[in-house]
Structure 1
């Protein structure tokens, strides 16, 4: 975010703790970190290695203000896009993340951890001055993300069975003792973020209205992936 002096009473207040953040603290305009195939959910933690100059500028500006960044997926991976100079279109929904830990290396790059705060709807691009993308956003429809939400009832045993089949089919090693110890609500945050689903499926998990719906989408994705059917996609 571009650092500016605040002279007006409606300037965003400084918030020191995550639990103190309210909808009024989410700015109407936010610097964006477009990440293809990467998901940040409310209460999730996303470690990032930041080395591109424009995103170093984004981190510097965010640290100077509210430490808030908008994480959002592009439609396409720009590195694989033939139109390499074209600015990729973005999905309509992303997640506000707050920098909750960071370290700056001697070469000026950063290692940061973002904690998901709440989702937002991308409205339109705004003019940036430091190379990274900025946008007008609206988080009002996702105010519930800021509240403590009790875990939704779902068939955990069925989900774990499908998850084991999914990981085994891909030869992925998993520390099952860590997953087994997770509470249901934590599991519904961690699994969508760590499972290597394609970008549209990740977006479907992000846009699920409730934890119950997220659990349903996750179960569907695991079952479809385990069946080897790559042509079927959840609505």
Structure 2
């Protein structure tokens, strides 16, 4: 297990609404804004190559630049540059973190002091498990959901995926609100995340609008 002491206390953060990264999962990103190009350039110079993904948490009338307290850091494991200077990168999820404070400094991008405490399972060498997961029931629900949303899927890949990869990938890919994505991120276990995901899917199938996770 990677200990929290191996991880830096200060990391760059990318506040991107609706973009969810989870441990042991991969998130492709398209980097083109100058401040985030600078962030990537600086990140690649560090030994850990970590970028923290965190949901904005703006409070209208008070704080339009707020951040949620929990995010997930990913290591840049792939990157390629386009002819016009943009980058396509892949973040591999390492661990969730808790924002301690935002650091004012001389960078165009945002940085935060973070704590890795309480997220030991994220850094475990083996996948999280969900003993109560009934895959057949879940896949039937997923089939109905995809049909209701007019979505297609590679069902063989979904069937072959391990439980954690299946639940985390769907949590990241399905079109839920930023607040719902945050609820999926903050789920303390894979079982809780699966229960949250099922609730969101069932809510969407009932034609619900807005946030279901309060």
Q: TM-score, normalised by structure 1?
A: 0.83
5 Å-filtered alignment, 1:58-207, equals 58-65=39-46, 66-75=48-57, 87-147=64-124, 148-153=126-131, 154-207=133-186
Whether 2:17 is the aligned partner of 1:39: answer: no
- Aligned-partner SS, 2:196: helix
- Contact residue 220 and residue 234 of structure 1 kept, 8 A: no
Residues 87 and 132 (structure 1 numbering): CA distance in 2 closer, same or farther, change over 3 Å? farther
- Contact residue 98 and residue 114 of structure 2 kept, 8 A: yes
* CA distance in 2: counterparts of 1:149 and 1:171, whole angstroms: 31
Structural RMSD (CA) = 2.1
Partner of residue 12, structure 1 = none
For structure 2, the 5+ residue unaligned runs are none
* CA distance in 1: counterparts of 2:212 and 2:101, whole angstroms: 28
Q: Find 1:51's aligned residue among 32, 46, 50.
A: 32
Q: TM-score, normalised by structure 2?
A: 0.90
Deviation larger for 59-68 or 224-233: 224-233
- Aligned-partner SS, 1:64: coil
* CA distance in 2: counterparts of 1:195 and 1:181, whole angstroms: 19
- Contact residue 93 and residue 120 of structure 1 kept, 8 A: yes
Residues 115 and 91 (structure 1 numbering): CA distance in 2 closer, same or farther, change over 3 Å? same
CA displacement at 1:220 relative to structure 2: 1.2
Deviation larger for 118-127 or 153-162: 153-162
Deviations 1:135-187 (A, max 9, x none): 11111111221002342121212221222222222212211121111111211
Deviations 1:29-61 (A, max 9, x none): 110111101100001100011000000011011
For structure 1, the 5+ residue unaligned runs are 1-19
